[in-house]
Amino acid sequence: MFKNRNFVIHWLTMAFAQIGGFFTLVAIPWLVLILTNNDAMIMASVMATISLPHSIVILFGGVLADRFSPLVILKVSRILSLFFMFSLAGLVLQDLITINLIYLFALIIGSLSAVAVPASQSILPNILAAKHLGNGNGVMIATTHVAQILGPVCAGWLIYFARISMGIEGESSKAVAVAFILDSLLIIVALFGLQFLKINASNSHIKDAFWPLLKSGFQYCWQDIGIRTVLSYLLFISFFLHGPLMVFLPLITKAELGLSEASYGNLYAMIGTGVVLGAIIMFIKPIADKHLGLLVLFADLLAGVSFCGIFLTNNIYLIALALLVIGICSGLVTISGTSWFQKRTSAEFLGRVMSILLFVVFGSIPLSATLTGLLINQFSINQIIIFFGLTIISITSVSLFIPAIRNMGNLDQDTTTFDKEISYEK
């Protein structure tokens, strides 16, 4: 696999872009907390705004990847990201940034990411043989989460040392701008590497407009009973896990525990560390499709238990351990699930199916993050965490007794009628 020049280029460019992305993902909520004096609702709504495009724009990304070259879409999205990251850094350095502008940049950054992700995932099956997809996804996802380790840790310490070097005793929004600048530089490196990437995908035969392409993508997912079952399950789990975690982690670190930027980066990195460990496990011992359902259910059950205990202690080491376990569970599920979707999906629908998968996993985050922010004003953080955690445990426990969900990875494909309709249209 590593003798494949295109794979190596795609892997390295993605790594640089991801590290920079996590710099920004750490810097933005910290900047909001500085500007709003730890306002939980505003911070939650900003993070929801970043995630919002994943519930809408990401579907455009999948269609564009199928309609045009996914490589072209990836290049364009990164060029635009570069422009807006430099603009954001400049505004922060000049003390011209406002909360309203942060909302705007959050929406733009989230939208460009939503377009780029399905395009990036559509490239891999075009440069690797099917038998290498599992390991390829393992390497790519593990690298993403190595970036999730390096990015937050480096961002937290970078902001901290930038503030110290400026001679500022308290909080400083200008120090945060350093993270945005470094993200921009890493995007430049990624764009340079993409100039040498060649893929075999040719979508010139696909001439349909956006809505017919999107409709046929949803039809394809619905008529495959396995894909339909997996997507339905993931929708519920994502709502109660990813959104609340995005809100609680920076809020607890800064407002409840009174820790620094560096501590937030370190805690955030524990999730990525766990995912890397999960990727290593899947690389050493890949799981058969027939066992996918049990793996997903038990991993989510353990994640729910960890989520319940994650913020019920002030011991930073126990919090870090809980985040590590959640990361391991996420790594196991993400790698096995992504490979399963890629192998199961016809090539011409790959971009749309991957975007629908991402839409289901991340599309509920803005709603759940906003709901979490609203609940914080009515209940204690511990009460909300227990509620979400017990809901995850309940869903996974009940699902273990439902054969269609327990065996979700081994359900027969049922797209015969749909394939005939597509052939007739052609």
Query: Is the model's pLDDT at 135 over the cut of 90?
Result: no
Q: What is the pLDDT of residue 68?
A: 76
Tell me which residue of 70, 185, 179, 88 sits closest to 124, measured CA to CA: 70
Q: What is the pLDDT of residue 21?
A: 85
pLDDT tens per residue across span 265-288: 778 778 878 888 887 888 787 777
Structure tokens at 185: 């530089």
Rounded to an integer, what distance in angstroms lies between the CA atom of residue 43 and that of residue 52?
14
Task: Tell me which of 76 and 247 has the higher pLDDT.
Answer: 76
What pLDDT is recorded for position 168?
63
In the chain, % of residues over pLDDT 70: 89
Domain ranges of the chain: 5-196+207-425
- Residue with the bigger pLDDT between 339 and 353: it is 353
d(CA 174, CA 168): 10
Instruction: Count Cβ atoms below 10 Å from residue 96 Cβ, excluding itself.
Output: 9
Residue with tokens 């599309």: 363
- For the stretch 158-171, pLDDT in tens is 777 777 777 665 56
Q: Write the CA distances from 408 to 52, 240, 282, integer angstroms.
A: 28, 20, 18
Q: CA dihedral in degrees (174, 179, 180, 186; nearest 10)?
A: 150
Mean pLDDT of 184-202: 85
Q: Quote the CA–CA distance of 403 and 348 in Å, as a whole number.
A: 31
Question: How confident is the model over 89-95, as a mean pLDDT?
Answer: 89
- Average pLDDT of the segment spanning 23-46: 83
Q: Worst-scoring range by mean pLDDT, 244-248, 351-355, 375-379, 416-420?
A: 416-420
* Dihedral pair phi/psi, residue 43, rounded to 5°: -60, -40
Which structure tokens are listed for 199? 């893929």
Check whether 223 has a pLDDT greater than 60.
yes
C-alpha dihedral sign at 273, 314, 297, 229:
negative
Of residues 419 and 130, which shows the higher confidence score?
130
Percent of the chain with pLDDT over 90: 11
Alpha helices (H) in 128-172, listed in sequence order:
133-165
Highest mean pLDDT range out of 154-158, 236-240, 345-349? 236-240
Sign of dihedral through CA atoms 174, 44, 335, 225? negative
93 or 40, greater pLDDT: 93
Give the tens place of pLDDT for each residue, 54-90.
Answer: 667 777 777 777 777 788 888 999 999 999 999 999 9
Nearest to 183 by CA among 425, 392, 416, 17: 17
Q: Is 269 exposed, middle or buried (0-12, 13-18, 19+ CB in 10 A)?
A: buried
| pLDDT tens sequence across 400-414 | 888 877 887 775 555
Per the prediction, the chain carries an average pLDDT of: 80
Choose the weakest-confidence range: 52-56, 207-211, 292-296, 315-319. 207-211
pLDDT of 13 reads: 92
CA 228 – CA 234 distance, rounded (Å):
10
Concatenated DSSP letters of 162-178? HHHHTT-SS--HHHHHH
What's residue 108's pLDDT?
92
| The CATH number of domain 5-196+207-425 is 1.20.1250.20 | yes
| pLDDT given at position 170 | 57
Distance (Å, whole) CA 206 – CA 422: 12
The mean per-residue pLDDT over the stretch 237-256 comes to: 76
> Does the pLDDT value for residue 33 go beyond 50?
yes
Q: Give CA–CA dist 389/134, Å, rounded.
A: 30
Burial class (CB in 10 A: 0-12, 13-18, 19+), 39: middle
User: Band of the pLDDT at 358, cuts 50, 70, 90?
Assistant: confident
25 has a pLDDT exceeding 60 = yes
Q: How far apart are CA 317 and CA 241, in angstroms?
A: 21
Q: What are the φ and ψ backbone dihedral angles of 380, each rounded to 5 degrees?
A: -75, 155
pLDDT at residue 23 is higher than 50: yes
Contacts for 420 with CB less than 8 Å, ≥ 6 apart: none
Question: Can you give the pLDDT at residue 203?
Answer: 52
Q: Say if residue 385's pLDDT is above 60.
A: yes
Radius of gyration of the chain (CA): 21
The CA distance from 15 to 22, in Å, is 11
On the 0-12 / 13-18 / 19+ scale of CB atoms within 10 A, 177 is: buried
The reported pLDDT for the residue numbered 424 is 34
